[in-house]
Amino acid sequence: MQKYTVVVCDHIHEAGLKMLEEDKNINFIMAADVDKKELVEKIIPTADVAITRSSTDVDANFIAHAKNMKAIVRAGVGVDNVDIPGCSKEGIIVMNVPTANTIAAVELTMTHMLSCMRMFPYSHDHLKNQRIWKREKWYGYEMKGKKLGVIGFGNIGSRVAKRAQSFEMDIVAYDPYIHPSKVTDLDMTYTKNFEDILACDIITIHTPKNQETLNIIGEKEIAKMKDGVVLINCARGGLYNEEALFNGLKSKKIRFAGIDVFNKEPATDNLLLDLDNICVSPHLGANTFESQYNIGTQAAQNAIEAAKGIAYPHAMNLPIDESKIPSFVKPFLEMGQKIGFLESQMNKSQIIAIKVSGHGEIASYVDSLSTFVAVGAMSQNSDDTINYVNAEFVAKEKGIKIESEALVDSSVFKNLITIKLTTAEGTTSVSATIFDDGVKRIVAIDGFDIEVPLKGDMILFKNSDVPGVIGNIGSTLAKHNVNIADFSLARNSESQALAVILVDDIVDEITLNELASLDACISVNYVKI
């Protein structure tokens, strides 16, 4: 059994650690408390995948020692401390977990917004710590009817806007990288003019930190704002210029600010803390028990999938520009990679060709899709580290032909992909789609129309279509204590049947050999996704 080494460089939730410990294919190293020099020089060279947080810098020195590294999982949203170009150059995939702490960050933003409008932390301190009862000192403002400017309308910004809308606020959103309908369909205002944001009563920002967004609010922008504006930043330090923010608060141009993030952290000596019209928190955007659980388990799952070459969820250095593709495309890319991985297990032999076909809107993206499929298919049977960066090169080097074709719309499915894998032993074909419930489903395997969720451990049993087969399969699995989670069956015109059986337990070679020995059996495969 091949084992992959996953190194956890920083602390994550124990549920994530348990997932790594329990996976029999993973050699798990907990190195969160190891000296960073020792970590980089002695442990990282052995790692297939590393899980990091903000305490570990993935810099040139780290990358130089990551000789066997397939992927790095940043357990969180921000990748400020990861040298992504450097990783790409060495063929290392960088992933994050962008949605794990979404709700925590959204709710903290709303907390700061309410605190600023009602000066809640100060009135609390007045009564609780100073024991002063002075109601007339604490007149605040209502959020109803106020105009909220939202900079960045992604996972967090859009949810903040929805919650603010429930307070009967008017929402103005600025995000040049989304389609305006994402905003207007919610009965909110979309703008391409940043001046419209500066005219709002409250402004909140939810963007990554990069050259475009660094100091996006400075002296010039604050001067254009209305007197008494409220500013919120629970995203990244440096998006608001701190000197300009300090001056604006001191002059009362900015009536109040709610800040969770700072240029330099810990921010115990930051000048902003000297002001009496600011609510602050020590970078608590992800600090809920729920989000830490989500971050830990999602990071662990991403690391496991990356180590095995199954998929690289939320990869940051993809072979495509995510800002230029519709949101529906990425799940199909990830699904294509998983199908490639599945088919390489069904057809365990030297790969000769990979053909990817797309029906519907997804047909416009089959070239990108073919890269993902190739990564999934080749990772199972190659000694090389296969990823999005080098997949095409490795395929060419091995003489594997990769084709893609855009077909007319399917009459049955809105979007459909079909992946045909040809090896020295034969050809397999799998078609799949994603339904409105977001679940990835196989809808055909080798000419059999069959609907199966794309997940878990499954047995594919092809047989002559004669009585008694299902009973024989069930009794054989029961004999070996293998529990059936789902059983799907399809038939073709050649008097053959295909059973796809999802199981809860590992199926060993003895069980598979016994299934293969059944009289009606044509073939049996065991695949793990």
- The DSSP annotation for 281-310 comes to -SS-TT-SHHHHHHHHHHHHHHHHHHHHTS
Cα distances from 378 to residues 131, 355, 490, in angstroms, run 69, 13, 28
Q: How far apart are CA 195 and CA 224, in angstroms?
A: 8
Least confident of 47-51, 75-79, 432-436, 439-443: 75-79
Neighbouring C-beta atoms of residue 509, cutoff 10 Å: 8
pLDDT at 385 over 70: no
Rounded to a whole number of angstroms, the distance between the first and last alpha carbons of the chain is 16
Look at residue 418 in the predicted model and tell me its pLDDT: 96
Give the position of tokens 């007339």. Answer: 136
What percent of the chain shows pLDDT beyond 90? 75
Contacts of 64 (CB under 8 A, 6+ apart): none
Across the chain, what does the average pLDDT equal?
92
Half-sphere exposure of 227 (CA within 13 A, CB side): 2
Sign of CA dihedral 354, 359, 362, 363: positive
Q: How far apart are CA 301 and CA 380, in angstroms?
A: 18
Catalytic residues: 236, 265, 283
Q: Give the pair of three-digit tokens for residue 503.
A: 């199981």
Look at residue 2 in the predicted model and tell me its pLDDT: 82
21-70 pLDDT, tens per residue? Answer: 999 999 999 999 999 999 999 999 999 999 999 889 999 999 999 999 99
Cis, peptide link before residue 266, omega less than 30° from 0: yes
The amino acid present at 29, given as its one-letter code, is I
Neighbouring C-beta atoms of residue 316, cutoff 10 Å: 18
pLDDT at 288 over 90: yes
Q: Give the pair of three-digit tokens for residue 160.
A: 């903040």
Q: Are 194 and 212 in contact (CB under 8 A)?
A: no
Look at residue 89 in the predicted model and tell me its pLDDT: 79
Least confident of 90-99, 166-175, 196-205, 466-475: 90-99
What percent of the chain shows pLDDT beyond 70? 97
Of residues 279 and 321, more confidently modeled: 279
The amino acid present at 113, given as its one-letter code, is M
Q: Are 106 and 150 in contact (CB under 8 A)?
A: no
Give the position of tokens 């205002």. Answer: 189
Look at residue 320 in the predicted model and tell me its pLDDT: 65
Q: What is the mean pLDDT of residues 235-264?
A: 97
Question: In 3D, which of 516, 502, 498, 377 has the Cα closest to residue 446?
Answer: 498
Residue environment code for 369-392, b if the CB has 16+ CB neighbours within 10 A, otherwise e: bbbbbbbbbbbbbbeebbbbbbbb
Q: Are 463 and 448 in contact (CB under 8 A)?
A: no
Q: What is the mean pLDDT of residues 258-266?
A: 96
130-160 pLDDT, tens per residue? Answer: 999 999 999 999 999 999 999 999 889 999 9
Domains of the chain listed by start with CATH number? 1-99+286-318 (3.40.50.720), 102-280 (3.40.50.720), 328-455 (3.30.1330.90), 456-529 (3.30.70.260)
Residue environment code for 38-47, b if the CB has 16+ CB neighbours within 10 A, otherwise e: ebbeebbeeb
Q: How far apart are CA 117 and CA 257, in angstroms?
A: 9
Look at residue 410 in the predicted model and tell me its pLDDT: 62
86-130 pLDDT, tens per residue? Answer: 888 788 999 999 888 999 999 999 999 999 999 999 999 999 999
Q: Give the pair of three-digit tokens for residue 50.
A: 């590393």
Question: In 3D, which of 338, 409, 400, 424 has the Cα closest to residue 373?
Answer: 338
pLDDT at 325 over 80: no
